Amino acid sequence: MTDWTDIGALEDIPRRGARVVRTRLGCIAVFRTVDDEVFAVDDACPHKGGPLSEGIVHGRAVTCPLHNLVLRLDTGKAQGADEGAVATHPIVVEGGRILLDASGLRRGRVA
C-alpha cells in the first residue's frame, strides 16, 4: 500500500539539481532532470557512501561527486562496466507537488 507524502513543490528543485529529504532511516536524494522528471534514491553512493545529492545530473543519471561512479536514477544501478546499485523510491509529481511513497519508510518519518 502506498503512502504518498508531499515533500514540496517541483519548482523548489532546480533542473539538474537535487534536494535532500531526511528520514529516520537515512537521507533520500530527490532529483529533477532537465526534462522535469523526478527520481528518489538513497543519498549514499553504493561505492563508499558519497552524497549523491551533490553529484552531477545528466539525462536520467547522476555522477557521484567522490569517485565518479555513474548511477541510473530510474533503476539505481551503476552504468557501464561498474557494479553496485542504490535503493530507489517511488515518486510522482501531481499538480506541481512532489509526492514520495513513504510506505517503505514506515519506521521512519519524512521530515
**Residues making contact with ligand FES (CB under 6 A):** 45, 47-50, 64, 66-67, 69
Tell me how far, at minimum, the Cβ of 27 lies from ligand FES, in Å.
14
Residue 54, SS3? helix
Cα(46)–Cα(72) distance, rounded to whole angstroms?
A: 12
- Closer Cβ to ligand FES, 79 or 103, answer by number: 79
- Closer Cβ to ligand FES, 57 or 102, answer by number: 57
Q: Which class for 80: exposed (0-12), middle (13-18), buried (19 or more C-beta within 10 A)?
A: exposed
Tell me how far, at minimum, the Cβ of 49 lies from ligand FES, in Å.
6
